[in-house]
Amino acid sequence: MSDVIFNIQPVDEKPKKETKAPRGSKYETIINAFMDSNHKLVRVDGTSLDANYLAGQLKKIIDRKALDMVTVSMRNKEVYLEKS
């Protein structure tokens, strides 16, 4: 067996963790644009995403940001955002 060579050094405290800046979701821009608009109901067009997937991602963002006044719904494979 070979011996492992190492040193131990006393320290006063552990250094703080380096954290990455929080990343916003790429779908968060859709929510932000809707919130900044004066519209009460919009259909989200122009994405190549499956409507179920997009609606799920938007719902996660709405829940995370606690936007109780915004709802996501799907009709005929189209995604809608509505302010109450």
Q: Which long-range contacts (CB under 8 A, 24 or more apart) does 23-32 make?
A: 25/57, 25/60, 25/61, 27/54, 27/57, 27/58, 27/61, 28/61, 30/58, 30/81, 31/58, 31/61, 31/62, 31/65, 31/67, 31/70, 31/81
Amino acid 79: pLDDT: 96
Q: What is the pLDDT along the chain (84 residues), one digit of tens a residue?
A: 678 887 888 889 988 888 876 677 789 999 999 999 999 999 999 898 999 999 999 999 999 999 999 999 999 999 999 999
